[in-house]
Amino acid sequence: MREKSLDFLKRMLNTPSPSGFEEEASEIWRQYVGAYQLITVNKDTYGNSIAEMTPATNSEHCISLPSTHTIMLCGHIDEVGMMIHYINDDGFIYVSQIGGFDALITLAQRVTIHNKNGHISGVIGRKPIHLADDDEEEVKLHTVFIDIGAKDKEDAMNMVSVGDPVTFDAPIRELANNRIAARGLDDRMGAWVVAETMRRLSERSLLKVTVVGVATVQEENGAYGAIMAAKRIKPSVAVAIDVTHATDVPDISKEEHGDCILGGGPVLSLGSISHKKVNALLETVAGENRIKIQKQISPRWSGTDADAIFTEAGGIPTALVSVPNRYMHTPTEMIQLDDLEDTVELLVRWCESIDDNTIF
């Protein structure tokens, strides 16, 4: 991977971005994409970051009139996290979920609370095994508490407030075989793919239609950013980029969940939301450019921005392209960088293959 692109990915992953608090990561995204020629960048009222490139400004060899088709590529920039809802008299902090995750993963974790002045470090307490009962109850988030070392409630409230967001303190780790682990690969990785696709398209100057790349907000809370973006952009066709479950680990049944592996390439979703013609074009482009792909099914819904896009504007032809991800919605999500690069290559070639005569 290009060094500058990897540095951008690392900055994104190490920047907190829980749903509703995406401002810092979104600004990094806009600065990166906006640095490339031919791309105009702006944001909407809730923080969706929108980058647009048209053939009219892209190349002297392209048509000078506005294109009929507009492609929307989107990846959500938010992550799961927590929010403070109560501080008790002893200064211990209780939280609610942002997005969804298993409360079990919070135990004995280091966390960061993001306040108006910066951030405060804390830990999530866990009763020592020496004091635990044999019949300890199932972990529920309302029983989990954060300890910031405060002496009492007043001391704690001098440092943090109800409403402050909380993220796991889990910076990126580089692993063997070109793999990385980090908090929030779901889905700042997808926002990275959109940014890199726009960069590559701007450098190649082969577009025949308009492409709009969006780093959407609040996917984990209900795909709200994607709804706003689809209503505003009204694209002819859309592709959502997200993660999907890699099933190449010991405790996941392939008989139940299908076969998806790290390093196996981008994953096409098959199901009711996925437009068959868009998927067929993606498959054709993958074959022509020798890009390996995998397939998974989403018979009813995908749990991604694609669900929010395809019903807008009377029906937008939509596809979902995903990257295999182990341990989703934990602080130790894992992907393989080759899959990221193959996803960018697929989207670049697919965008370039579309012209005003393409029928969806």
The predicted pLDDT at position 62 comes to 46
Q: Which residues contact 306 (CB under 8 A, 6 or more apart)?
A: 238, 240, 242, 269, 273, 274, 318, 319, 320
The tokens describing 266, both together, are 């981008």
The predicted pLDDT at position 66 comes to 59
The predicted pLDDT at position 356 comes to 87
The domain spans of the chain are 3-79+183-353, 81-168
199: Cα within 13 Å, side-chain hemisphere = 20
Q: Which residues contact 46 (CB under 8 A, 6 or more apart)?
A: 217, 218, 224, 225, 228
The predicted pLDDT at position 131 comes to 60
Fold of 3-79+183-353: Aminopeptidase (3.40.630)
Phi, psi dihedral angles at 93 (to 5 degrees): -110, 135
Please say whether the beta carbons of 321 and 187 come within 8 A: no
219 catalytic? Reply is: yes
The predicted pLDDT at position 58 comes to 46
CA–CA dist 171, 169 (Å, integer)? 6
The tokens describing 335, both together, are 């992907």
CA–CA dist 129, 195 (Å, integer)? 46
The tokens describing 292, both together, are 């390996």
The predicted pLDDT at position 163 comes to 96
Please say whether the beta carbons of 324 and 95 come within 8 A: no
Fold of 81-168: Elongation Factor Tu (Ef-tu); domain 3 (2.40.30)
Please say whether the beta carbons of 222 and 46 come within 8 A: no
Q: Which residues contact 311 (CB under 8 A, 6 or more apart)?
A: none
CA–CA dist 307, 353 (Å, integer)? 25
Going by their DSSP bridges, the two strands 210-216 and 70-76 should be labelled as parallel
**Active-site residue identified among 79, 196, 219, 345:** 219
pLDDT tens sequence for the chain (360 residues)? 899 999 999 999 999 999 999 999 999 999 999 999 888 999 999 999 999 998 855 445 444 455 689 999 999 999 999 999 999 999 999 999 999 999 989 998 999 999 988 899 999 987 666 566 666 667 889 889 999 999 999 999 999 999 999 999 999 999 999 999 999 999 899 999 999 999 999 998 789 999 999 999 999 999 999 999 999 999 999 999 999 999 999 989 998 898 999 999 999 999 999 999 999 999 999 999 999 999 999 988 899 999 999 999 899 999 999 999 999 999 999 999 999 999 999 999 999 999 988 888
pTM of the entire structure?
Answer: 0.92
Of 10, 358, 66, 2, which is closest to residue 184 (Cα–Cα)?
A: 10
The C-alpha angle 203, 55, 355, rounded to 5 degrees, equals 105
Specify which residues 83 forms β-bridges with. Answer: 96, 165
CA–CA dist 308, 6 (Å, integer)? 30
